[in-house]
């Protein structure tokens, strides 16, 4: 296993958990949202505003496909699961973990979905976004970890246990 891929909704803790997990596994940490922002020198919300959701999803897929990850914990954007080619690439020789968080908890964690840079249809609610993505998260995950009532450290410990089981 070369990489650990974290997928899930915005606010699930992918970046926070990813940094801590990378430290425990002696891996690099990569946030695909930051790769996109770096390539375009703009915030995700500005990219979405200027180019639209569909174009943003294409950009996200392309940036992931163009990037090389090895011995990395990769925190994906919440919409990365819409990019089939990107997910195929990410899953190759990796453990993919779905950080599952209850919608009510996500609403507490996210102050403003419009400034967060979330790829969504105009006027969508967090519940609608969750419903639209849930099956894709489950499809691509090697395992789901319910993080709703866990601290970031507890999530890291559970993922590390799974990695140890796999690596023997």
Please list the pLDDT of the chain residue by residue as tens digits (168 residues).
Answer: 699 999 999 999 999 999 999 999 999 999 999 999 999 999 999 999 999 999 999 999 999 999 999 999 999 999 999 999 999 999 998 999 999 999 989 888 887 665 567 787 777 888 899 999 999 999 999 999 999 999 999 999 999 999 999 887
Q: 3-class SS at 159?
A: helix
DSSP code of residue 92: T
Taking CA atoms, 144 is separated from 23, 58, 68, in Å, by 21, 26, 24
Is 50 in contact with 105 (CB distance < 8 Å)? no
């Amino acid at each position: 296993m070369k990489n650990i891929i974290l997928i899930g909704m915005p606010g699930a803790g992918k970046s926070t958990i990813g940094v801590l997990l990378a430290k425990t596994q002696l891996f690099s940490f990569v946030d695909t949202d930051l790769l996109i922002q770096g390539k375009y020198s703009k915030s995700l919300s500005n990219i979405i505003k200027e180019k639209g959701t569909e174009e943003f999803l294409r950009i996200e897929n392309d940036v992931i496909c163009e990037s090389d990850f090895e011995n990395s914990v990769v925190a994906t954007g919440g919409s990365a699961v819409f990019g089939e080619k990107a997910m195929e690439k990410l899953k190759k020789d990796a453990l993919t973990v779905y950080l599952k968080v209850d919608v009510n908890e996500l609403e507490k964690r996210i102050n403003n979905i419009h400034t967060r840079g979330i790829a969504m249809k105009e006027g969508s609610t967090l519940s609608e976004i969750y419903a639209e993505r849930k099956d894709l998260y489950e499809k691509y995950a090697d395992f789901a970890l319910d993080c709703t009532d866990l601290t970031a450290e507890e999530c890291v410990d559970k993922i590390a246990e799974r990695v140890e089981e796999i690596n023997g």
